A and B are shown apart, each in its own frame.
Chain A
Amino acid sequence: MILNRRTLIVGAAATLAGCDRLAKNETVREALFSAENFHRWAQRSLMARDALVHEFRPDQISPFFRPNGTANPNTPEYKALWRTGFADWRLQVGGLVERPLSLSLAQLHAFPHREQITRHDCVEGWSAIGKWRGVPLKRVLDAARLRDGARYIVLHCADDMGGGNGYYESIDRVDAFHPQTILAFALNDQPLRVANGAPLRLRVERQLGYKQAKYLMRIEAVTSLDGIGGGKGGFWEDHAGYDWYAGI
């Protein structure tokens, strides 16, 4: 036969090398990266603005919720906060708001809570189900009163990803005001462990795992993502080319 395994492998590798070369072409690259916009538009057209993700029963919770990414920020500042049980930790809420806030954990707990058993879908392909408890982000943003120009909410984290780049993520107003978008301080009825983002992390349930920013320090309302980090709206977006819209 003309096609033996070796020919097939060499052929496949050559074609794939061709695809790789193609991907270096600026136009092709732009097309590949802009598929995200189509998916965001299509998904948002298909779903109600406040469409909820499925919430599971307690018996469907994963036996162990896999932590991923930073397991411990380990910076001197974070360690100092951790040693005192985050008594000195404050969540700063600023940027385009009329009333900047500085909230302690106790003050956050005083807000109305929401509890939800949801599935965490990692961009890598695995899923874990956990019960989260926290304050709807909407409540905090309402307390800080967003100004008109505020289009995105940026979440700055305590973990240093190397080279002075802090982890950060951002979401738009649609997801920021979604009823299931919460600032979570508890997982499976326990205060967040360090590996899962203590003392506070974001849950934005209609998006993938890398959007669920851990070790929250500061929330900033902005008009544009330019000038923050690498300008693409998140650490992995800047450094690995991940899609900013992670509902896909």
Chain B
Amino acid sequence: MDGARSEPKSAEPKPVLRHRWPTRLWHWTNALLLYVLFTSGLGIFNAHPRLYWGQYGANFDHPWLTLERFGSWITLPAHYNLAMSRHWHLTAAPVFAFALLFYMLWSLFGRHLGRDLAFRRGELAPRHVWQDVRDHARLRFPTGEAALRYNVLQKASYIGVIFVALPLIILTGLTMSPGMNAAWPWLVELFGGRQSARSIHFITAFALAAFFLVHMLMVILAGPLNEVRSMITGRYKVPEARS
């Protein structure tokens, strides 16, 4: 979507530059890192598969969620090894956090945010949002010119992921560290205590997993080849306008 140009309509659709290189690089870095972070995170969770609200929480306290250990098909490593899960998680986490920071700065100053993600006048009107929901439900994806702009649900998801979910999972992750809690005691208080922060970290991880599944579904429904190519080379073939 970045750098979308107004292409005159022609018989054969010409590929347009849809994603600039920082978006593409960040996207694939994230795909890899989120995979490592999610699976190693479940490995860490398996050490104590109970979640609590508040400042403290251990075996004799009341959990709001108790789970069985996640199976080896989804944990890294593929057997219970808390130390190795932590090594994976703590190696990937700083790279992931700084990548997001740079991408946020680039989005702001590279006008990705203002040009592609910010809501336009009237887009948030209930009637417009409802229309977009109906189009999605009927799998009527935009074609022609409209396919070059994110629709309101897409914008909301991308803004929600980049500016809410990802920062939230990083900040709650930081509060898992007793050292960070000495450095920034206000942060863990902001989340209502370390066990609340751990719960929010877990919930956000699964919200991101849900985003991933919907994202995959949308890519498959919208034409996987064109979509995946646009995220690798940046080139996107504009779907012909419906008559």
Contact = CB atoms under 8 A, between A and B. Distances in A.
B60 A63 contact: yes
B194 A240 contact: no
B55 A43 contact: no
A121 interface: yes
A200 to B, nearest CB: 21
Contacts of B58: 62, 66, 122, 126-128
B56 A16 contact: no
A19 interface: yes
A47 interface: yes
Contacts of B82: 123-124, 240
A53 B182 contact: yes
Given A20-B77, A125-B47, A60 B185 contact: no
B133 interface: no
Nearest to B44: A125
Contact of B57 (A23, A44, A126, A205): A126
A15 B35 contact: yes
Given A33-B87, A205-B178, A125 B48 contact: yes
A129 B56 CA distance: 6
B179 interface: yes
A111 interface: no
B6 to A, nearest CB: 35
A196 interface: no
B94 interface: yes
Interface string A237-248: 000111100111
Contacts of B86: 123, 242-243, 248
B241 interface: no
B74 interface: yes
Interface stretch (A34-42, A93-101, A156-164): A34-42
Given A1-B220, A35-B94, A12 B74 contact: yes
Contacts, number: 154
B178 A53 contact: yes
Range for the number of chain A residues in contact with chain B: 35 or more
B137 interface: no
Contacts of A71: none
A240 B195 CA distance: 25
B116 to A, nearest CB: 28
Contact of A54 (B45, B75, B76, B185): B185
A126 B76 contact: no
Contacts of A125: 44-45, 47-48, 176, 198
Nearest to B50: A126
Most chain B beta-carbon neighbours within 10 Å: one of A35, A63, A126: A126
A119 B180 CA distance: 14
A119 B55 contact: yes
A57 to B, nearest CB: 10
Interface in B176-191: 176-185, 188-189
Contacts of B47: 123-125
B11 to A, nearest CB: 31
Contacts of B90: 35-36, 39, 243, 248
A122 B76 CA distance: 20
Nearest to A46: B183
Contacts of A201: none
Most chain B beta-carbon neighbours within 10 Å: one of A2, A3, A16, A121: A16
A212 to B, nearest CB: 11
Nearest to A241: B83
25 contacts: A3-B216, A3-B220, A12-B39, A13-B72, A16-B77, A39-B90, A39-B177, A43-B179, A47-B179, A119-B56, A123-B47, A124-B82, A125-B44, A125-B45, A125-B47, A125-B48, A126-B59, A127-B195, A128-B56, A129-B56, A206-B181, A206-B182, A208-B178, A243-B87, A248-B86
Given A19-B39, A38-B94, A119-B56, 10 more contacts: A19-B36, A43-B183, A46-B180, A54-B181, A66-B58, A125-B48, A126-B57, A126-B59, A236-B83, A242-B86
